[in-house]
Amino acid sequence: MISVDLLIFDLDGTLADTKDDIATAVNLTLRDFDLPPKEPATIYGYVGDGVRKLLQKAFEGQSQGLYEQALKVFREHYLAHLLDTTQFYPGIREVLEHFKNKKKAIATNKPYEYTSNIIDGLGVRSLFDLVLGGDSTLHLKPHPAIVKEVLGRLGIEGERAIMIGDGVNDILAARMAGTKSCAVGYGLGRVEDLLAVDPDFFCENVRDLPRLFC
Protein backbone atom coordinates (compact mmCIF):
# COMPACT_ATOMS: atom_id res chain seq x y z
CA MET A 1 0.00 0.00 0.00
CA ILE A 2 1.22 3.51 -0.83
CA SER A 3 0.07 6.92 0.34
CA VAL A 4 -1.14 9.37 -2.32
CA ASP A 5 -2.75 12.80 -2.35
CA LEU A 6 -4.32 12.63 -5.82
CA LEU A 7 -6.09 9.92 -7.80
CA ILE A 8 -6.35 10.52 -11.55
CA PHE A 9 -8.88 8.37 -13.37
CA ASP A 10 -9.42 7.51 -16.99
CA LEU A 11 -13.12 7.54 -17.95
CA ASP A 12 -14.10 4.94 -20.57
CA GLY A 13 -13.54 1.47 -19.19
CA THR A 14 -12.26 2.75 -15.85
CA LEU A 15 -14.94 4.86 -14.18
CA ALA A 16 -17.82 4.29 -16.55
CA ASP A 17 -19.10 1.55 -18.82
CA THR A 18 -19.60 3.66 -21.95
CA LYS A 19 -18.96 1.07 -24.65
CA ASP A 20 -22.53 0.34 -25.76
CA ASP A 21 -23.42 4.00 -26.29
CA ILE A 22 -20.21 4.53 -28.27
CA ALA A 23 -21.02 1.51 -30.44
CA THR A 24 -24.55 2.79 -31.01
CA ALA A 25 -23.28 6.18 -32.18
CA VAL A 26 -20.68 4.61 -34.48
CA ASN A 27 -23.21 2.29 -36.11
CA LEU A 28 -25.76 5.09 -36.54
CA THR A 29 -23.04 7.10 -38.23
CA LEU A 30 -22.14 4.20 -40.54
CA ARG A 31 -25.83 3.80 -41.37
CA ASP A 32 -26.10 7.44 -42.39
CA PHE A 33 -23.34 6.86 -44.95
CA ASP A 34 -24.96 3.64 -46.23
CA LEU A 35 -22.16 1.55 -44.78
CA PRO A 36 -22.72 -1.78 -43.00
CA PRO A 37 -22.76 -1.82 -39.20
CA LYS A 38 -19.92 -3.33 -37.22
CA GLU A 39 -20.15 -5.80 -34.38
CA PRO A 40 -20.21 -3.91 -31.06
CA ALA A 41 -17.26 -5.96 -29.79
CA THR A 42 -15.21 -4.76 -32.77
CA ILE A 43 -16.02 -1.14 -31.97
CA TYR A 44 -15.11 -1.65 -28.31
CA GLY A 45 -11.59 -2.42 -29.48
CA TYR A 46 -11.37 0.99 -31.15
CA VAL A 47 -11.93 2.90 -27.90
CA GLY A 48 -9.10 4.59 -26.03
CA ASP A 49 -7.21 6.67 -28.58
CA GLY A 50 -9.71 9.49 -29.02
CA VAL A 51 -12.66 10.06 -31.34
CA ARG A 52 -10.61 10.71 -34.47
CA LYS A 53 -8.86 7.34 -34.31
CA LEU A 54 -12.13 5.66 -33.34
CA LEU A 55 -13.74 6.86 -36.55
CA GLN A 56 -10.62 6.32 -38.65
CA LYS A 57 -10.84 2.65 -37.72
CA ALA A 58 -14.62 2.49 -38.20
CA PHE A 59 -14.32 4.18 -41.64
CA GLU A 60 -11.14 2.45 -42.71
CA GLY A 61 -10.90 2.28 -46.49
CA GLN A 62 -13.22 5.25 -47.00
CA SER A 63 -12.21 8.63 -48.43
CA GLN A 64 -10.80 11.41 -46.26
CA GLY A 65 -13.74 13.62 -47.17
CA LEU A 66 -16.23 11.03 -45.98
CA TYR A 67 -14.31 10.59 -42.75
CA GLU A 68 -14.36 14.35 -42.06
CA GLN A 69 -18.12 14.39 -42.59
CA ALA A 70 -18.45 11.37 -40.32
CA LEU A 71 -16.87 13.25 -37.43
CA LYS A 72 -19.72 15.78 -37.50
CA VAL A 73 -22.41 13.15 -37.87
CA PHE A 74 -20.95 11.04 -35.07
CA ARG A 75 -20.99 14.07 -32.74
CA GLU A 76 -24.75 14.49 -33.25
CA HIS A 77 -25.45 10.83 -32.63
CA TYR A 78 -23.19 10.50 -29.62
CA LEU A 79 -24.52 13.61 -27.91
CA ALA A 80 -28.01 12.16 -28.38
CA HIS A 81 -27.14 8.72 -27.03
CA LEU A 82 -24.20 9.05 -24.62
CA LEU A 83 -26.38 8.48 -21.58
CA ASP A 84 -28.65 5.74 -22.95
CA THR A 85 -26.86 2.99 -21.03
CA THR A 86 -23.69 4.61 -19.67
CA GLN A 87 -23.26 4.23 -15.92
CA PHE A 88 -20.45 4.10 -13.40
CA TYR A 89 -19.17 0.58 -12.89
CA PRO A 90 -20.60 -1.06 -9.75
CA GLY A 91 -18.48 -0.05 -6.79
CA ILE A 92 -17.04 3.13 -8.28
CA ARG A 93 -19.16 5.50 -6.22
CA GLU A 94 -18.18 3.67 -3.05
CA VAL A 95 -14.50 3.90 -4.02
CA LEU A 96 -14.79 7.64 -4.65
CA GLU A 97 -16.55 8.08 -1.31
CA HIS A 98 -13.77 6.09 0.38
CA PHE A 99 -11.26 8.56 -1.04
CA LYS A 100 -13.37 11.65 -0.27
CA ASN A 101 -10.45 13.31 1.53
CA LYS A 102 -8.14 12.89 -1.48
CA LYS A 103 -8.08 15.04 -4.58
CA LYS A 104 -9.59 13.29 -7.58
CA ALA A 105 -9.44 14.10 -11.28
CA ILE A 106 -10.50 12.68 -14.63
CA ALA A 107 -7.97 12.66 -17.48
CA THR A 108 -9.42 11.03 -20.60
CA ASN A 109 -8.76 10.99 -24.32
CA LYS A 110 -12.51 11.46 -24.86
CA PRO A 111 -13.23 15.06 -25.97
CA TYR A 112 -14.22 17.34 -23.12
CA GLU A 113 -17.70 18.03 -24.51
CA TYR A 114 -18.69 14.37 -24.29
CA THR A 115 -16.89 13.86 -20.99
CA SER A 116 -18.58 16.86 -19.39
CA ASN A 117 -22.03 15.78 -20.57
CA ILE A 118 -21.52 12.31 -19.11
CA ILE A 119 -20.22 13.59 -15.77
CA ASP A 120 -23.08 16.06 -15.44
CA GLY A 121 -25.64 13.56 -16.70
CA LEU A 122 -24.59 11.06 -14.07
CA GLY A 123 -24.67 13.78 -11.41
CA VAL A 124 -21.09 13.20 -10.27
CA ARG A 125 -19.35 16.51 -11.04
CA SER A 126 -18.99 17.29 -7.33
CA LEU A 127 -16.97 14.10 -6.78
CA PHE A 128 -14.02 15.42 -8.79
CA ASP A 129 -11.69 18.36 -8.30
CA LEU A 130 -10.87 18.56 -12.01
CA VAL A 131 -12.16 17.06 -15.25
CA LEU A 132 -10.04 17.19 -18.42
CA GLY A 133 -10.74 15.74 -21.86
CA GLY A 134 -8.68 14.83 -24.86
CA ASP A 135 -8.85 18.36 -26.25
CA SER A 136 -7.91 20.00 -22.93
CA THR A 137 -4.22 19.74 -23.90
CA LEU A 138 -2.41 19.52 -27.24
CA HIS A 139 -1.66 15.81 -26.97
CA LEU A 140 -3.56 12.63 -26.19
CA LYS A 141 -2.33 9.89 -23.88
CA PRO A 142 0.14 8.14 -24.00
CA HIS A 143 1.71 11.61 -24.15
CA PRO A 144 1.98 12.80 -20.52
CA ALA A 145 0.59 16.30 -21.18
CA ILE A 146 -2.85 15.75 -19.67
CA VAL A 147 -1.46 14.08 -16.55
CA LYS A 148 1.03 16.90 -16.07
CA GLU A 149 -1.78 19.41 -16.57
CA VAL A 150 -3.75 17.78 -13.76
CA LEU A 151 -0.72 17.83 -11.47
CA GLY A 152 -0.05 21.48 -12.23
CA ARG A 153 -3.61 22.69 -11.78
CA LEU A 154 -4.10 20.82 -8.51
CA GLY A 155 -0.64 21.56 -7.15
CA ILE A 156 0.38 17.95 -6.52
CA GLU A 157 3.84 16.48 -7.07
CA GLY A 158 3.98 13.47 -9.37
CA GLU A 159 5.24 11.09 -6.71
CA ARG A 160 2.12 11.87 -4.63
CA ALA A 161 -0.30 10.94 -7.42
CA ILE A 162 -1.49 7.82 -9.18
CA MET A 163 -3.05 7.37 -12.63
CA ILE A 164 -5.73 4.67 -12.76
CA GLY A 165 -6.82 3.32 -16.13
CA ASP A 166 -7.81 0.35 -18.23
CA GLY A 167 -5.51 1.13 -21.15
CA VAL A 168 -1.83 0.91 -22.02
CA ASN A 169 -1.99 4.63 -22.83
CA ASP A 170 -2.82 5.39 -19.19
CA ILE A 171 0.16 3.46 -17.85
CA LEU A 172 2.61 4.99 -20.31
CA ALA A 173 1.33 8.53 -19.70
CA ALA A 174 1.66 8.07 -15.95
CA ARG A 175 5.22 6.82 -16.25
CA MET A 176 6.30 9.73 -18.44
CA ALA A 177 4.55 12.22 -16.15
CA GLY A 178 6.31 10.86 -13.07
CA THR A 179 3.28 9.41 -11.30
CA LYS A 180 2.52 5.90 -10.12
CA SER A 181 0.15 3.84 -12.27
CA CYS A 182 -2.60 1.33 -11.59
CA ALA A 183 -4.06 -0.80 -14.38
CA VAL A 184 -7.59 -2.10 -13.97
CA GLY A 185 -8.58 -5.41 -15.48
CA TYR A 186 -12.36 -4.98 -15.62
CA GLY A 187 -12.47 -2.43 -18.46
CA LEU A 188 -11.85 -2.41 -22.21
CA GLY A 189 -8.12 -3.09 -22.21
CA ARG A 190 -6.69 -6.58 -22.53
CA VAL A 191 -5.10 -7.73 -19.28
CA GLU A 192 -2.08 -9.22 -21.06
CA ASP A 193 -1.40 -5.91 -22.81
CA LEU A 194 -1.66 -4.02 -19.54
CA LEU A 195 0.66 -6.34 -17.66
CA ALA A 196 3.17 -6.19 -20.52
CA VAL A 197 3.81 -2.48 -19.84
CA ASP A 198 4.49 -3.16 -16.14
CA PRO A 199 2.09 -0.93 -14.20
CA ASP A 200 2.99 -0.23 -10.59
CA PHE A 201 -0.28 -1.83 -9.47
CA PHE A 202 -2.93 -4.05 -11.04
CA CYS A 203 -6.54 -4.24 -9.85
CA GLU A 204 -8.94 -6.86 -11.19
CA ASN A 205 -11.90 -5.64 -9.13
CA VAL A 206 -12.67 -1.95 -8.64
CA ARG A 207 -13.53 -2.55 -5.01
CA ASP A 208 -9.92 -3.56 -4.39
CA LEU A 209 -8.61 -0.04 -5.05
CA PRO A 210 -8.91 1.08 -1.39
CA ARG A 211 -6.61 -1.78 -0.43
CA LEU A 212 -3.84 -0.43 -2.64
CA PHE A 213 -3.75 3.26 -1.70
CA CYS A 214 -4.25 5.35 1.38
Name the region of 41 (left: φ>0; alpha: ψ -120 to 50; beta: rest). Answer: alpha
Phi-psi region of 206 (alpha: psi -120 to 50; beta: other; left: phi over 0): alpha
Catalytic site residue 208? no
Distance from first CA to last CA of the chain, Å, rounded? 7
**Residue among 182, 171, 190, 181 nearest 209 (CA):** 182
Of the residues 5, 10, 12, 208, only one is catalytic, namely 10
Rounded-to-integer distance, Cα 177 and Cα 153, Å: 14
Active-site annotation, residues: 10
